[in-house]
Every structure is written in C-alpha cells, then in structure tokens.
Amino acid sequence: MLACSTGAACRAHGASKLIIWCLPAAQHQREHRGHALLQAPLGWSAAVCNPAAGGEGMIRKFATACVLPSLVLIAMLTAAAAVHAQQTPAAPPPDQPTQTEQQPQGQSSSSQEAAPEEIDRPVKKKVQGYEKWTFNVGGGASLTNGTTKTFVRGGGGIAAAGAARNYSKYFGIRLDFQFDNLPLRTSALQAAQATGATNHVYSFTLDPIINIPVSSNWGGYVVFGPGYYHRSGKLNASTAIPGSACNSFFLWWGHCYNGSLPINGQFLHESQNEFGYNFGGGITRKIRPNMDLYAEFRYLHGKRNNISTDLRPITVGIRW
C-alpha cells in the first residue's frame, strides 16, 4: 500500500478504489436493467448500498446505486485537494537560505571595509591663530631711578620667568617673577660705614597683556598692572654706633626708628615688603614656528612707610 501525503489525497485514493470495485457491477447491470436504473430515486442509494442481504443480486444493486454518489464524492475530494495544494506554500529550495545568509555577510564585509576609511579620514581642526598658554624666560640688567639711584649702581643683573594665559589673539593675563641684583654704590657703603654689602629685590607682577601683531614674524605687546616687591640685603660689617642719629642711607635701608639706629645693633640686615605697580612693553621676533625672541623694558615701583624702590629692568629672552 502507498502512503498518502495529505488527508485530501487519502480520501481521493479511497474513493477511486470504491469506483474500481463498483464499475464492473454497474456495467453488468446497465446491460439488463438500464431503464430501471434511471427511474430509481437517489434516496434509495442509502438503503441499497447496505451489504447486509448478500448474494449476486444484492451486489449488482449496490454497484448500481453507488456509482453516481461516488462520482460526486471523487469530484469534491479532487477539488478540495487542489485548493489545499494552492494554499500550502511551496518549500523553498535548500540553497536559498545559504544565498540569503551570504548576502548580509557581503554587506557587513563592505561596511567593515568602509569603516577604516572613515576612521583614517583626517579631522579638520579649527585654527585659532594663537596659543592659549605662552611661557617666557630671560635675563638682562636693571637701571635705577629715584631714591634707589642714589644708593644703587645701575647694571645689576636680573633673571625673569613668566607665563601668560591668552584669551584671544590680542589679549591675555601674564604672571611674572623677577630677580634684580642691587649693587650698592661706594658712597652708600661709606654712609653705612661698611666694607661691603649685598642687596636684591624679588618681584611678582600680575598684568594684562595686549599683543600687537605687526607681521607674520614681528610683533609687540604692552603690559601694566600691580606688583609686589620684597627687598633684602646685608652689610658685611659696620662701625656705626647703635642709638646714633640716622643718615639718609639708613633711612632707605629701613632701620631707622625715631631718627636713631636700633640700640640692639640689629641694623646690618634689611628686609622690606613693598607694594606698587609696573608697566612696560616689548617687541618679538619669530625664530621658529612656535618660538619668539623678545626684548622688554619695564618700570617697577614699590613703596612702604615712605621708603621706595624704583627700577627699570631691560630683559631679553625667548617666548614659546
């Protein structure tokens, strides 16, 4: 026996077997009683098809009565099988999923090949035209002014360093530290009755800086602002008498109280803190793409208790 793939096919196969069994008997019956078969009512088929009576005559009646309903049943089952075959989707070929799987892999590989190009693509940076931070170091000499010029020789060495935070191409804030050596004049040593001495100033300034570009290589700047100055010094020895009257040098030296030198003799050392201002400017010359050579002139002034310090430092250095 052959297995049926669907229920509709099985029903059609059973009906065909029934027709094969009924057709010979029907042919024999039509030869003898053709007119009786046409006059028989269709409702009688249910009674005639019952095979309880046995015998050849009964078989002939059963075959005659079952032919027409069997033909109708075959037609109905065939139509149902055709409709079921149309509604059931055909199974895809076995190679089709492999093709559909290969297509996304090809797409993903192409996207993976494009990804390195996007990563390696250079990103354009916004050119600001200035550096946010600049630093400078330099050295030079100081000229003296005012009362300081009376006791200090000009030409004392200086060392300077600073940093600036630029907020645009033209404006920034600059912090500077500077050391100035103040060599005493011979007349000052004679007034102090000393054989030798050392004297210097530490200065801190915080200034706005205005940059003035002139060309691609040349430029200038202006600075001005407050300053803090610490002046200290030491006399090697002095024959001055404690408690004696002060002269102009000891007034500037800062150890004269009520017009007299300290009785305890503590006038050999000097230490003074002064507040004041500074202003100046400089020129720059580019020597490398990120480095400038600069020359600067400033005026420093500090004062406390009618004691002043006045300097005019000249500095040459590099800025980057």
pLDDT, tens digit, for every residue of 248-282?
999 999 988 888 999 888 899 999 999 999 999 99
Q: Is residue 63 part of a domain?
A: yes
pLDDT of residue 129: 76
Answer left, alpha or beta for residue 233, where phi above 0 means left and psi between -120 and 50 means alpha: beta
Confidence band, pLDDT 50/70/90 cuts, at residue 2: very low
pLDDT of residue 266: 87
Residues 270 and 292: their CA atoms lie apart, in Å, by 38
What pLDDT, on the 0 to 100 scale, is given for residue 215? 94
Residue 298 — left, alpha, or beta (φ > 0 → left; ψ -120 to 50 → alpha)? beta
pLDDT top residue among 264 and 35: 264
Strand partners, 221: 211, 282
pLDDT top residue among 277 and 37: 277
Q: What per-residue confidence (pLDDT) applies to 18?
A: 46
Residue 185 has pLDDT above 90, yes or no: yes
> Which one has a higher pLDDT value, 51 or 66?
66
DSSP tag of 145: -
Q: What range defines the domain where residue 205 resides?
A: 133-319
**276 and 159 housed in the same domain:** yes
- Asked whether residue 138 falls in the same domain as residue 287, the answer is yes
Q: Is residue 99 part of a domain?
A: no
Measured CA to CA, the distance from residue 43 to residue 49 in angstroms comes to 11
Query: Alpha-carbon dihedral of residues 42, 44, 48, 52, nearest 10 degrees?
Result: 140
Q: Residue 152 falls within a domain, yes or no? A: yes
Please indicate, yes or no, if residue 313 is contained in any of the structural domains.
yes
pLDDT reported for residue 86: 58
Q: Could you tell me if 148 and 77 lie in one domain?
A: no
Q: Which of 20-24, 129-133, 205-209 bottoms out in mean pLDDT, i.e. has the lowest?
A: 20-24
C-alpha–C-alpha distance, residues 168 and 231, integer Å: 35
* Predicted confidence (pLDDT) per residue in 91-135, tens digit: 555 555 444 444 445 454 444 554 555 555 655 555 567 899 999
Q: Considering the domain boundaries, does residue 190 fall inside one?
A: yes
What is residue 95's predicted lDDT score, i.e. its pLDDT?
54
Q: Which of 54, 86, 118 is the last residue of a domain?
A: 86
The first and second tokens of residue 40, run together, are 């028989």
Distance of CA 11 to the CA centre of its chain: 74
Higher local confidence (pLDDT), 259 or 317: 317
Distance CA 194, CA 270 (A): 14
- pLDDT higher than 80, residue 191: yes
Residues 304 and 210 in one domain: yes
* Residue 293 near residue 281, CB atoms below 8 Å: no
Residue 111 sits at the vertex; the CA angle it makes with 108 and 117, to the nearest 5 degrees, is 150
Q: Give tens-digit pLDDT for 54-95.
A: 445 554 554 455 555 556 556 665 665 555 555 555 555 555
Q: What is the CA radius of gyration of the chain?
A: 60
Please name every residue paired with 106 in a beta bridge, in sequence order, or none if there are none.
none
CATH of the domain at 289: 2.40.160.20
Residue 71, φ and ψ in degrees, nearest 5: -60, -40
Do the domain assignments include residue 123? no
Q: Among residues of the chain, what percentage have pLDDT more than 90?
A: 56
Domain count, the chain: 2
The Cα–Cα gap between 94 and 251 comes to 110
pLDDT at 144 over 60: yes
Residues 58, 64: Cα–Cα separation, whole Å: 10
Distance CA 61, CA 39 (A): 14
- Would residue 207 count as lying in a domain? yes
For residue 77, the Cα-to-chain-centroid distance in whole angstroms is 73
Is the same domain home to 279 and 194? yes
**Does a structural domain hold residue 117?**
no
CA distance linking residue 142 with residue 216, whole number of Å = 31
Same domain, 311 and 226: yes
Please indicate, yes or no, whether residues 144 and 271 belong to a single structural domain of this protein: yes
**Residues 163 and 133 sit within 8 Å (Cβ to Cβ):** yes
Question: Taking 60 as the threshold, does the pLDDT of residue 3 lie above it?
Answer: no
pLDDT at 87: 56
State whether residue 162 is helix, strand or coil: strand
Between residues 238 and 7, the one the model is more confident about: 238
Percent of the chain whose predicted confidence (pLDDT) is above 70? 60
| Whether residue 239 sits in one domain with residue 161 | yes
Q: Is the pLDDT of residue 200 over 60?
A: yes
pTM for this predicted structure: 0.60
pLDDT value for 302: 98
Choosing from 86, 108, 125, the residue where a domain stops is: 86
